[in-house]
Structure 1
């Protein structure tokens, strides 16, 4: 056999399978079958050795053969060859405490050897890079908690030689992956090496291999101890490869793979070049004959570190791309123990390699950081895991031992040499940092601040910014620091972190300017965020807004990681049926740090209001709980507000129909009416009844056609659950109504009420399936008109205002503001801080989460102030929100579209509707500002449709925010198709958070402070029949009003909700004035200036108009518009 040529002695797959067929293993004898039989019955991982590197080469058309078996047989003979294989695949006893204790003894022994310096660390000479690993979007493996589709991880890669310092030697090459950008901490570490077959299969062979690598003669002897060792060495060694990046790296060890279906599976990993470049460095026949000689060849003249340099040079030109793949084996009863054997590959025909993640390395790691990294095979998420060994002969004993020993060795032993040369020498540059700490109280920090500057392909080591004997980073201060670091070219991004030490560890930063003093370049990095601790370091990019498609690779990768981190922090919650989805937090303290507020002023005010926080109770909460005379109500208003702050209409003309209509149109609930195009059948008012009010001589149908009739419909209040009175007496009972009302624009162009029905008309279901309503008011549900007595008509209007107040607080205010939360959640989850829409929206939605929590606790939920003010309990209040949200359409927030839909856009038909007139001016100003900004970044609709972030954003709002329960259409598109459509959506959000919020809250104090003007509940049931004229008196009205305590709380609540917080320190001013400079582009600043100028012109227009009004409409004056909800 020794005289045969190498070609003649090659083993075929059938020849190699002979040892398995000739003798049953102990496991096969126990199970009564053979490996061959098991393979026929199920997809078991084949053990054919030619399905290794040689097989991969053949598949790729690369001519390479592993001659190890032939060379072994040539020296040792066929008999020894077969005998060795039979020994290899016999399963030793694995049970018992003694067997397990030997594993721990070996671990202790290796740690002692490492401690005394007798155990050398492998893979000590390497080069590192950092980038991203993104799980494939359409995975071919079962659903997995860690490997979620599309999930992005920061990732570090460490390429190295296993033993040899010389890159031109013959050695195993490694690719270590860490799924984090940290030196040690990580959710997952991977150890991958060249060659698909290992050279050891348990602890004894591992220790033997470690000893053999000390000298070439020892390694030669070890190769001939077993043919698989020889084969594995040839399979895994690479001599002077062209690049680390064209090699294939395999994980030889088997790990658990816990998918969500709970089936027992096991997994192997490998890393391959994304472009499929042929593998270099494979050993030729001459090298295979003397595989134990690893030194460089005499004719090799490349430098000792050429691979590390080549990696850095390649990275300097463009990112390096790999594909991470996995093989899965689903465990079945009686599976052979040999599936765990690292010297046996799994048949790729039955266990194909499946793409797991796209790995892109964009940035070279500084050499000192590279050498500090510690990788641990035991670092795995719960959904993966080591297979615990039962003895030192267990195939799982090797990864278990490595997981225990390697981190210990890395911490103990210095790298040799201690200060390795970097793969590329970079020049040193001087930089100046100008750091602006936030101005609000608590923004400063005593922590040590660390910064990393990131270029297109390189980055600096962490740089501490401490200045000795200086008190840096105080609130409102600007710190100017000079630093020196390697030249990373144009700075693309920077990372900031704190060490979390000291009483003041959190730090709020407004912005940072970086000056490259050699190049004379100054860059602005907007921050406007909190930095809390090391694990919460933030990566900043320059202030230029951009779309992901326009980002260079390094920024694209950082962008993906930013969004992945945000998705973990901003998670959806769907726990309130019939409500919009919200952020998954329960309390204000649970909010992400960037969305917390120094203190919730609105919550404080509402708490105080609920406790009678102003000293009204002393004056007005006497033993007589109900009001005796109207003057006491007026006095309450004057004492609470100050007589100089009480508007004239609040105590003088509130009873008139003109004032009633004016308040409906232009005070705190101006969106409650709808044009009446036809009097509805459930409002059976007769022409004859209203003839005195219809001044033009027309009937109702004609007046409706002319656009002079308008409806207020509160019928959805019918049937809501009431709160239980404290005492079972008549005085404490609550008597809400569900009225409908008809309004009319008279000849004086006054908007006045002309008919009120306090309860919905009863309907009957006809045999045809249609509902039939009585054509006349029911005897116990009359329609009230101005022709009734003054006190009867005033009382009817009070019941109407009481019902309208419930809808105002719970629907037009609370629900509308809750609808903003899905937009806020989706903005933080799906839009990078660099995205122009993020920059447009975040000043307006940052406080939405806190505001929603305050609403739910202090207005909507049980125990809120409405428990003592509203007639409905918490269940009733929530049910009202559900009823309105069931019919919600997004165009209700598009101001022009809402006006058109409700028929309120005709200025001639409905004059004096200043909410509409001023609102349209504000809308158009916001819309132009938004459009001009968007056109800076979207050249055409193609760029918009290709913007994955914005399409995901709107889809997330729709599917997981507004329509999470069912498919009921809410009027949002599945994707944004045009710039105009996107501008309308963004404008709607900004308008709702500013103008809508102001218009529905600023006047609450004026409207609700005089309780008879708009009582929040009524303690007396309305009459079921019309009394005779003169029968109803002022005393009846006073008895119907809420008691003194509820009235005090109503006034307190109105005061709290009327404060829009424009002047509060953390709000930063009114609409159009941003203390946070998110856009740094010159063009964007010009557009912002034009927006501010337009708002000033609107203010002047409103003031000129108001000069001619008896009651000026000021609620939409631009200087009075907050840019966000007050918390």
Structure 2
């Protein structure tokens, strides 16, 4: 065919079971309602051979007299191999016009079933009250509700999807390139863990392990694990940078005194240092009631306080650690100080072990993985694929449900990875998540500017060097501007919002009690969106959590956890009760195991699956990538002047979704 009238391109999604060998049928409809003939698309005489991840090209003729295309009708044959077919996108090039004609995109992102014809509008992006095929749209949502069912798999934690839908499963490509490598790494780590539980002659003895063919680089924590300055840095740019707060009053259960801390405060009394905003507190007292079922009786999870002082060089330094913050007389209120030798090092290890439990439980698993899955289920139950907000958020859910399903069946299994490598064990991890979910709010803990403000660390004059805050706010503003471009482009006034029944159903399910809803507190509008600002705030939080927060708390794990003394996930024996001197050998006997992670999906803004073709979304995404590039350059420049570079919130290092 030398001179086709149109060229049709069809991309099959890279999902399990997405392929089909049946013929595909397409009809064009122009802006005047005129239809073309029914076009049969097949790659050979036996059928279509529409393979997953593949794009098929079809030149077609005998189609003329059409104005600009507005719709296509698409269906699949009933004979052939492969059941239902998942089409990602169709685009059409009008070869009858001169020059280089722009394609007309018809994003599908749906399963095509037998005997069903879909009518898809150009760009397929509209509010429900403006949709040209409302019955088709309503039927699609009803069907998706049978596949996306909320299920609280453990008491008190965010709900997940009951059964993993087919299109949420890992692709073969992802499994081969990422999961198998991850499994191999975890297998090596498992072997290392067996060795780590033994006795060590020295810290160097541990370091030598990485040079005996184990396949791992030396973790960066090896080089700074005993530095007090780095112990402070872990609070502002480590795996769990969301705990420290400005100390405006010493907790009543923290037994520090002016005399005790005088040597560390550069001439200030403790009271003066507090009044001058120079004292910072990490409070992990919420751990005092965490059950340790399944953990041997000679293990212990502390519930500590730690105090830090901002010195005249504007650097944080730890000045006190109290490992037990309860009034229970079984737990002494010994305050450990930087002058306490090896027992001070051990106190820092036990503090970091407690911090690691909060990090892995609530900061990481609970309030990135699980909370975003709950939101993803709500989106799929209420917002059509044609909804502009579904198209906005969909790239940030890639593989989320699949990785969470894997975590539930392996990491959180009884006697599984968490039970055997973390002090809190499975029951303790779930208890921490459930406890924190009772008080977690989307508009505070889930909203970076407000979360930092709640800890009184929003003013850089109070804490000048806080990379998580400074880089995070850069990325937050990029995402917020991107979301605002989409929201303001589709909602011109409050009536547009009020009449968007899909959006209002989504708002309602977010806050409704389980099992009808996600039971999330602090959702702007509290179950009813009324303004553009409320929508922008909510969706900025969703995307930032899916991408930036997860990057911040996930991708530093190897360097932090990888060298046991630096940030231990597991501690042997009891925490110190007093300041009795201990040797390095005593300290080494209490060392933990080691986990392993790696990065997966593409960088923020570079979407693996393109859902956005409408002019509003395309313009917003283009500007988003410009701003991300500018933010990346700013962070690169900041890192030139930082004692320890912070790269986890550089946009080029932030994946789009929680996929590992």
For the criterion TM > 0.5, the same-fold answer is: yes
Query: Which of 432, 453, 461 pairs up with 1:880?
Result: 432
Aligned match of 2:158: 580
1:762 and 2:327 correspond: yes
Query: Distance between the aligned counterparts of 2:516 and 2:147, measured in 1?
Result: 22
1:847 and 2:399 correspond: yes
Query: Distance between the aligned counterparts of 1:967 and 1:608, measured in 2?
Result: 37
Q: CA deviation at 1:1086?
A: 3.0
* Aligned partner of residue 1040 in structure 1, secondary structure: coil
Query: Distance between the aligned counterparts of 1:960 and 1:1016, measured in 2?
Result: 34
1:1038 and 2:588 correspond: yes
Q: Contact conserved, 1:500 with 1:506, CA < 8 A, in 2?
A: no
Residue-by-residue CA offset, 1:976-1017 (whole Å, 9 max, x unaligned): 121111111101111111110111111111011111111112
1:828 and 2:380 correspond: yes
Residue-by-residue CA offset, 1:121-143 (whole Å, 9 max, x unaligned): xxxxxxxxxxxxxxxxxxxxxxx
Q: Contact conserved, 1:591 with 1:850, CA < 8 A, in 2?
A: no
Going from structure 1 to structure 2, the CA distance change for 1:746 and 1:723 (only over 3 Å counts) comes to same
User: Mapping of 1:771-920 within 5 angstroms?
Assistant: 780-788=332-340, 790-816=341-367, 817-890=369-442, 891-920=444-473
Query: Which of 917, 921, 931 pairs up with 2:484?
Result: 931
Residue-by-residue CA offset, 1:774-809 (whole Å, 9 max, x unaligned): xxx998331111132x10100000000011111111
1:659 and 2:230 correspond: yes
Query: Which of 739, 753, 756 pairs up with 2:318?
Result: 753
User: Mapping of 1:119-130 within 5 angstroms?
Assistant: none
Query: Distance between the aligned counterparts of 1:610 and 1:733, measured in 2?
Result: 26
Residue-by-residue CA offset, 1:1098-1119 (whole Å, 9 max, x unaligned): 1111111211223211111111
Q: CA deviation at 1:508?
A: 4.6
Query: Distance between the aligned counterparts of 1:640 and 1:1126, measured in 2?
Result: 29
Query: Distance between the aligned counterparts of 2:447 and 2:516, measured in 1?
Result: 18
* Aligned partner of residue 838 in structure 1, secondary structure: helix
Query: Distance between the aligned counterparts of 1:636 and 1:945, measured in 2?
Result: 62
Gaps of 5+ in 2: none
1:473 and 2:38 correspond: no
Aligned match of 1:707: 277
1:629 and 2:206 correspond: no
Q: CA deviation at 1:496?
A: 3.2
Going from structure 1 to structure 2, the CA distance change for 1:1108 and 1:846 (only over 3 Å counts) comes to closer
Query: Which of 596, 600, 604 pairs up with 1:1061?
Result: 600
1:734 and 2:299 correspond: yes
Aligned match of 2:510: 957
User: Mapping of 1:662-677 within 5 angstroms?
Assistant: 662-677=233-248
Query: Which of 608, 613, 629 pairs up with 1:1080?
Result: 613
Query: Which of 7, 13, 24 pairs up with 1:449?
Result: 24
Going from structure 1 to structure 2, the CA distance change for 1:966 and 1:580 (only over 3 Å counts) comes to closer
Q: Contact conserved, 1:669 with 1:808, CA < 8 A, in 2?
A: yes
Going from structure 1 to structure 2, the CA distance change for 1:810 and 1:638 (only over 3 Å counts) comes to farther
Higher RCO, 1 vs 2 (CA within 8 Å, ≥6 residues apart):
2
Query: Distance between the aligned counterparts of 1:810 and 1:500, measured in 2?
Result: 50
* Aligned partner of residue 805 in structure 1, secondary structure: helix
Aligned match of 1:1101: 634
Q: CA deviation at 1:480?
A: 1.3
Q: CA deviation at 1:1120?
A: 0.7
- Alignment TM-score, normalising by the size of structure 1: 0.53
Aligned match of 1:492: 71
Q: CA deviation at 1:857?
A: 2.7
Residue-by-residue CA offset, 1:66-121 (whole Å, 9 max, x unaligned): xxxxxxxxxxxxxxxxxxxxxxxxxxxxxxxxxxxxxxxxxxxxxxxxxxxxxxxx
Aligned match of 2:9: 434
Residue-by-residue CA offset, 1:289-310 (whole Å, 9 max, x unaligned): xxxxxxxxxxxxxxxxxxxxxx
Gaps of 5+ in 1: 1-428, 727-731, 764-776, 1063-1068
Q: Contact conserved, 2:144 with 2:380, CA < 8 A, in 1?
A: yes
Going from structure 1 to structure 2, the CA distance change for 1:499 and 1:694 (only over 3 Å counts) comes to farther
Aligned match of 2:121: 541
Aligned match of 1:402: none
Q: CA deviation at 1:536?
A: 7.7
Larger-gyration structure (1/2): 1
Query: Which of 672, 691, 695 pairs up with 2:262?
Result: 691
1:720 and 2:286 correspond: no
Query: Distance between the aligned counterparts of 1:922 and 1:542, measured in 2?
Result: 32
Query: Distance between the aligned counterparts of 1:967 and 1:1085, measured in 2?
Result: 31
* Aligned partner of residue 107 in structure 2, secondary structure: strand
Going from structure 1 to structure 2, the CA distance change for 1:923 and 1:910 (only over 3 Å counts) comes to same
Query: Distance between the aligned counterparts of 2:467 and 2:213, measured in 1?
Result: 28
Q: CA deviation at 1:514?
A: 3.6
Q: Contact conserved, 1:962 with 1:970, CA < 8 A, in 2?
A: no
Query: Distance between the aligned counterparts of 1:778 and 1:616, measured in 2?
Result: 35
Q: Which moved further from structure 2: 474-483 or 922-931?
A: 474-483
Query: Distance between the aligned counterparts of 2:433 and 2:439, measured in 1?
Result: 10
Query: Distance between the aligned counterparts of 2:624 and 2:523, measured in 1?
Result: 31
Aligned match of 2:167: 593
1:646 and 2:218 correspond: yes
Aligned length: 646
User: Mapping of 1:59-70 within 5 angstroms?
Assistant: none
Q: CA deviation at 1:1125?
A: 0.9
Q: CA deviation at 1:678?
A: 1.0
* Aligned partner of residue 634 in structure 1, secondary structure: helix
Query: Distance between the aligned counterparts of 2:385 and 2:252, measured in 1?
Result: 53
Q: CA deviation at 1:593?
A: 2.2
Q: Contact conserved, 1:530 with 1:594, CA < 8 A, in 2?
A: no
Going from structure 1 to structure 2, the CA distance change for 1:450 and 1:544 (only over 3 Å counts) comes to closer
* Aligned partner of residue 685 in structure 1, secondary structure: coil
Query: Distance between the aligned counterparts of 1:559 and 1:535, measured in 2?
Result: 17
Q: Contact conserved, 1:954 with 1:975, CA < 8 A, in 2?
A: yes
Going from structure 1 to structure 2, the CA distance change for 1:516 and 1:1117 (only over 3 Å counts) comes to closer
- Alignment TM-score, normalising by the size of structure 2: 0.88
Going from structure 1 to structure 2, the CA distance change for 1:499 and 1:740 (only over 3 Å counts) comes to farther
Aligned match of 2:106: 525
* Aligned partner of residue 1012 in structure 1, secondary structure: coil
Query: Distance between the aligned counterparts of 1:640 and 1:538, measured in 2?
Result: 56
Going from structure 1 to structure 2, the CA distance change for 1:1100 and 1:627 (only over 3 Å counts) comes to same
Going from structure 1 to structure 2, the CA distance change for 1:538 and 1:500 (only over 3 Å counts) comes to farther
Going from structure 1 to structure 2, the CA distance change for 1:472 and 1:606 (only over 3 Å counts) comes to closer
Query: Distance between the aligned counterparts of 1:604 and 1:472, measured in 2?
Result: 28
Q: Contact conserved, 1:715 with 1:739, CA < 8 A, in 2?
A: yes
1:560 and 2:138 correspond: yes
Query: Distance between the aligned counterparts of 2:508 and 2:200, measured in 1?
Result: 53
Q: Contact conserved, 1:755 with 1:784, CA < 8 A, in 2?
A: yes
Aligned match of 2:624: 1091
Query: Distance between the aligned counterparts of 1:997 and 1:740, measured in 2?
Result: 25
Residue-by-residue CA offset, 1:1045-1080 (whole Å, 9 max, x unaligned): xx2xx2xx2x22xx1213xxxxxx211122433222
Give me the CA root mean square deviation.
3.4
Query: Distance between the aligned counterparts of 1:1072 and 1:1036, measured in 2?
Result: 49
* Aligned partner of residue 434 in structure 1, secondary structure: strand
